[in-house]
Amino acid sequence: MNLAKQVCGWSTPAIGKFYNGRHHTTVIWALKRIGCLRTINPRIDGLLSSLAEEIRKHEQERDRSHRLCPTVERQLFPFRLDDESLDALADRLVERLHSRGIV
């Protein structure tokens, strides 16, 4: 939810709808909770910052290769990531968590 808001600029109702029809107030609560966690835990802040940067980098690469209207692209590709990119990002995330002793 945090990445959808911060990186992709989604509204809280849109995020809630994407996450199985959650109410926008649930999304607001989740965003506040993550904000607090980022403040008190530099590992979480660093992890979310790294993920956001990876998504932004992928968006820039995708924008260079695909020239869809941004509104249409946002509707078709919520995070503009295909399955292969998501798998690679998830693998890097798990590796990073293991290396930091979090998982």
- For residues 5 and 95, the model is more confident at 5
Q: Is the dihedral of CA 21, 38, 102, 46 positive or negative?
A: positive
Segments forming the whole domain that contains residue 44: 2-99
Provide the CB-side half-sphere exposure for 74 (13 A, CA). 12
The alpha helices in 8-82, defined as continuous H runs, are 12-18, 24-40, 42-65, 70-76
The domain total for the chain is: 1
Q: Tens digit of pLDDT for each residue in 87-98?
A: 777 778 778 877
Q: Tens digit of pLDDT for each residue in 43-52?
A: 999 999 999 9
Pairwise CA distance, residues 1 & 12, whole Å:
9
